[in-house]
């Protein structure tokens, strides 16, 4: 024990020394030396990322040791450390390194040439204990090892924890899978599919850092609560170039959480909506019902149907998006009107030989058309500049436009811009159908240039003030020396030439940003239209997809992975199942399996790795006692370690909807009125299955109507305290 404590303490000394070295390099990079502003920013960002990785290593820096059959030993930890004075010999192996794999997969049956696995139990920077597994013993290894059981039995906190010290063999195989395309990880509740996917991201960043880090990783989760739950995992593994979004965040500037009724979500999620969107755009490219007069100073001309039909056909044939094709439309209409105007103006006094005069007249007419309000209004009516928001909102609120686009009348609503999550992929699609408004882009670029200049001018002013006190600064050794100051010109260049925002901020603000890897959790809920958005965000088609088809609640969601993925990555996706339930104890999983058997009889529930010794209970109450039963549960759990939640129908005060708890876990769960959860939607049984499998220790059910037959395995009790028994060790 003493030797191990000394070794780990020495590792922390090396960690502190490495931090000091990186901090010194960071300070030097900030000063700039001879680097250009862009080079300086790249260096600062790289050192910032390195600093973060070193800081997260404080907690559990070294968590294990592997002893080989030949006597060699290696220590395993969150990061790698080397001995610079001894040919950079590794003194701590990063858990993602190939040589560390045996720590997770070695068993008594397949020891991987290892003799012993040692797991450290630490408090802060100190080793307090360790446990050994001797691979020569027939009962060594396996799913029930002490470190794993301690982790799964521990009270839950506010967020998901990493599993870097307790990764199991089937999980490690998925984390390290060398596949450049799409990986589908499917598993029932508690199988760790989410945390495995996040550790896979950390592994991909470790093995392909240069390729992946510049563009980052996108993690898509079902709701904000889920993202809050998982957001600490990757930073705890030293990775920060990750963007977290829900499907309602995928269009920059939008954060949508409202949902459509199931049948409307199904309509919007189907690829058939693409025809509706294209028709809605085409419907706004109009022909005049009657000729539109344009009064010029010397003559009147008309925009007629024949002219606009020619212009419309040419604009559409250009293949450009609507807003960009408008220039073709305007050019042709302008040409026709100018020719007609010039012919009328010159009739009787201009001959064919008066070429210069004809050119002057044409130039005058073109200038007058460009400034003519009636002409501008006519063009805007016939081929308006459209935004995705304006087009979709006007479509929803105008029955005649819905009919013209061939849309189902169920899409109609009173508030066109009352956006739902199902609208987001439609708005994203319209960005490509409509294209850019070049005039608006120029205005935005000019505004951004003015803002950058203002920032540079401000920086120059600050540095000028500092220069006036330069002598005082140089006389005082405790202040900055002159060479520590960034020169005005360099600082201005930094503002003007280079975007200094963090990757996550830049990526989330840019609709055209592409990621090198995308993780999609609760992927069974995504519609066909959602997948179109995500495929645009990752042209390399490198995805880790996490889901469970048995838990699908969305009418627009996936019924098979093949149907969703083959159109985008034919032959480039692989499937890996997870079968062991690390979260839900056997007592609770038995109850949940009864629900699963009724709505998905062909699906095998995951096998629980443990029992908790506490039987799930049910309690029937009358209407007046429901609130009191909920309050009793909340009061009882408040006195315990860990977390708890009440899950029930939307109208029950204090209850959380089952859909809002997907992917989350709690020590104790109270499910209220399961019979009404079953009746609340087309996938009510899936919602109840989700609700029952959130608990890691204790599950109670309170109901007013008779229990559904699928829950007959619950212990009927007058009080939850009756069902208590000590937590299993």
**Residue pLDDT, tens place only, 190-249:** 999 999 999 999 999 999 988 888 899 999 999 999 999 898 898 888 888 899 999 999
Alpha helices in 89-208 (DSSP H): 102-105, 146-153, 169-175, 193-207
642 membership: H or E segment, kind and range: none
Query: Helices in 482-641 by DSSP H: which ranges?
Result: 488-497, 503-508, 528-537, 561-565, 586-599, 626-638
d(CA 603, CA 596): 8
- Classify 615 as helix, strand or coil: coil
Q: Supply the pLDDT for residue 462.
A: 53
Q: Give the CA distances from residue 330 to residues 279, 297, 384, 541, in Å, rounded to whole numbers and listed in that order.
A: 21, 21, 11, 39
Examine the domain organization and report whether 272 and 420 are in the same domain.
yes
Environment class of residue 390 by beta-carbon count within 10 Å: exposed (0-12), middle (13-18) or buried (19+)? middle
Q: Which residues are annotated as a binding site?
A: 187-194
Cβ-contact 636, 720 below 8 angstroms: yes
Residues in a beta bridge with 620: 703
Domain assignment present for residue 346? The answer is: yes
Q: Are residues 576 and 183 in contact, defined by beta-carbon separation less than 8 angstroms?
A: yes
Write down the residue that tokens 């959790």 correspond to: 521
Residue 372 lies in a domain: yes
Q: CA-CA distance, 465 to 448, in Å (whole number)?
A: 26
Residue 570 lies in a domain: no
Number of neighbouring beta carbons within 10 Å of residue 477: 7
Q: In whole angstroms, what is the distance from residue 651 CA to residue 18 CA?
A: 55
Binding residues for ATP are 187-194
Low-confidence ranges of the chain (pLDDT < 50): 140-144, 466, 470, 473-474, 477-497, 721-729
Domain stops at, among 136, 167, 186: 136
Report how far residue 215's alpha carbon sits from residue 294's, in angstroms, rounded to the nearest whole number: 51
Where is 219: in which H helix or E strand? Answer: strand 217-220
> Could you tell me if 525 and 549 are in contact, meaning their C-beta atoms sit under 8 angstroms apart?
no
- pLDDT number for residue 722: 40
3-state secondary structure of 667: strand
132 with 271, same domain: the answer is no
| Domain-located, residue 146 | no
Q: Tally the domains of the chain.
A: 3
Which 3 state secondary structure label does DSSP give 481? coil
Does 358 map to a domain?
yes
Residue 569, in any domain of the structure:
no
**Ordered DSSP codes for 389-455:** HHHHHHHHH-HHHHHHTT--GGG--S-TT---GGGHHHHHHHHHHH---HHHHHHHHHHHHHHHHHH
Question: Which of 104, 136, 168 is the last residue in one of the domains?
Answer: 136
Residue 596: closest CA among 190, 160, 170? 190
Please answer whether residues 675 and 701 qualify as being in contact, where contact means their C-beta atoms are separated by less than 8 angstroms.
no
pLDDT digits (tens, 9 = 90+) for 563-596: 999 999 999 999 999 999 999 999 999 999 999 9
- Could you tell me which residues are beta bridge partners of residue 132? 118
* pLDDT given for residue 492 in this prediction: 45
Burial of 359 (0-12, 13-18, 19+ CB in 10 A): exposed
pLDDT at residue number 46: 81
List Cβ neighbours of 103 (8 Å cut-off, separation of 6 or more).
64, 66, 76, 95, 117
Residue 235, C-beta contacts closer than 8 angstroms, at least 6 positions apart: 52, 56
Domain membership flag for residue 545 = no
The confidence score (pLDDT) of residue 54 equals 87
Give the full edge-to-edge strand order of the sheet including 89-94: 81-83, 89-94, 73-77, 62-68, 114-123, 126-134
Cβ(206)–Cβ(78) under 8 Å? no
608 found inside a domain: yes
| Residue 293 parent element (H or E) | strand 292-295
Confidence at residue 595, expressed as pLDDT on a 0 to 100 scale: 92
Shared-domain flag, residues 270 and 413 = yes
Task: Return the pLDDT at 468.
Answer: 58
Question: What per-residue confidence (pLDDT) applies to 498?
Answer: 53
Residues 273 and 132 in one domain: no
Q: Is the distance from CB of 695 to CB of 612 less than 8 angstroms?
A: no
Domain end point (choices 402, 434, 466): 434
Query: For residue 596, what is the domain's CATH number?
Result: 3.40.50.300
The parent domain of residue 408 ranges over: 266-434
């Amino acid at each position: 024990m003493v030797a191990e404590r000394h070794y780990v303490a020495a590792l922390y000394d090396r960690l502190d020394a490495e931090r000091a070295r990186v901090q010194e390099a960071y300070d030097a990079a900030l000063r700039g030396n001879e680097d250009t502003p862009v080079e300086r920013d790249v260096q600062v960002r790289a050192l910032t990322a390195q600093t973060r990785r070193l800081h997260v290593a404080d907690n559990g820096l070294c968590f294990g040791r592997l002893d080989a059959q030949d006597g060699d030993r290696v220590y395993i930890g969150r990061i790698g450390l080397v001995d610079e004075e001894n040919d950079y010999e590794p003194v701590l192996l990063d858990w993602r390194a190939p040589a560390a794999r045996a720590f997770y997969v070695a068993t008594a049956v397949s020891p991987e040439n290892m003799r012993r696995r040692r797991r450290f139990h630490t408090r802060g920077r100190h080793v307090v204990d360790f446990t050994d597994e001797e691979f020569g013993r027939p009962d060594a290894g396996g799913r029930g090892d002490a470190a794993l059981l301690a982790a799964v039995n521990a009270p839950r906190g506010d967020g998901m924890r990493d599993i870097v010290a307790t990764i199991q063999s089937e999980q490690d195989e998925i984390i390290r899978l060398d596949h450049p395309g799409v990986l589908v990880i499917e598993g029932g509740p508690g199988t760790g599919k989410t945390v495995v996917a996040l550790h896979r991201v950390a592994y991909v960043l470790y093995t392909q850092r240069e390729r992946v880090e510049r563009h980052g990783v996108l993690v898509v989760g079902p709701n904000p609560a889920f993202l809050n739950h998982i957001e600490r995992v990757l930073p705890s593994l030293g990775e920060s170039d990750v963007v977290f979004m829900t499907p309602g965040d995928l269009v920059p500037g939008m954060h949508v959480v409202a949902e459509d009724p199931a049948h409307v979500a199904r309509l919007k999620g189907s690829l058939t909506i693409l025809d509706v969107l294209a028709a809605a755009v085409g419907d706004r490219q109009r022909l005049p019902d009657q000729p539109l007069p344009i009064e010029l100073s010397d003559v009147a001309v008309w925009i007629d149907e024949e002219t606009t039909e020619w212009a419309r056909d040419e604009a559409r044939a250009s293949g450009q998006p609507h807003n960009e094709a408008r220039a073709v439309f305007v050019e042709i209409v302008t040409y026709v009107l100018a020719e007609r105007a010039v012919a009328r103006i010159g009739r009787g006094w201009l001959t064919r030989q008066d070429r210069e005069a004809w050119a002057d007249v044409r130039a005058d007419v073109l200038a007058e058309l460009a400034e003519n309000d009636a002409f501008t209004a006519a063009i805007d009516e016939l081929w308006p500049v459209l935004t995705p928001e304006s087009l979709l909102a006007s479509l929803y609120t105008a029955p005649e436009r819905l009919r013209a686009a061939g849309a189902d009348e169920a899409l109609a609503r009173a508030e066109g811009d009352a956006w739902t999550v199902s609208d987001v992929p439609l708005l994203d699609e319209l960005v490509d159908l409509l294209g850019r408004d070049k005039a608006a882009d120029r205005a935005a670029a000019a505004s951004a240039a003015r803002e950058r200049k203002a920032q540079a001018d401000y920086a120059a002013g600050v540095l000028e003030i500092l220069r006036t006190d330069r002598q005082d600064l140089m006389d005082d050794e405790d202040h900055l020396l002159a060479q520590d100051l960034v020169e005005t010109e360099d600082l201005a260049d930094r503002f003007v030439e280079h975007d200094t925002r963090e990757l996550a901020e830049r990526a989330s603000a840019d609709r055209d940003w592409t990621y090198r890897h995308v993780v999609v959790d609760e992927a069974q809920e995504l519609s066909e239209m959602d997948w179109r958005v995500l495929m645009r965000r990752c042209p390399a088609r490198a995805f880790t997809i996490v889901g469970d088809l048995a838990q699908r609640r969305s009418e627009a969601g996936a019924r098979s992975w093949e149907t969703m993925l083959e159109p985008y990555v034919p032959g480039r996706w692989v499937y890996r199942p997870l079968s062991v339930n690390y979260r839900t104890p056997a007592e609770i999983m038995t109850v949940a399996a009864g629900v699963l058997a009724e709505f998905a009889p062909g699906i095998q529930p995951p096998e629980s790795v443990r029992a908790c010794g506490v039987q799930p209970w049910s309690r029937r109450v009358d209407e007046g006692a429901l609130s009191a039963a909920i309050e009793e549960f909340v009061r009882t759990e408040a006195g315990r370690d860990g977390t708890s939640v009440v899950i029930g129908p939307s109208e029950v005060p204090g209850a959380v909807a089952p859909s809002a708890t997907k992917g989350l876990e709690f020590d104790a769960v109270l499910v209220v009125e399961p019979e009404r959860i079953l009746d609340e939607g087309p996938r009510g049984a899936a919602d109840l299955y989700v609700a029952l499998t959130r608990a890691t220790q204790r599950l109670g059910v309170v109901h007013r109507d008779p229990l559904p037959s699928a829950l007959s395995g619950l212990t009927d009790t007058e009080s939850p305290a009756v069902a208590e028994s000590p937590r299993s060790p």
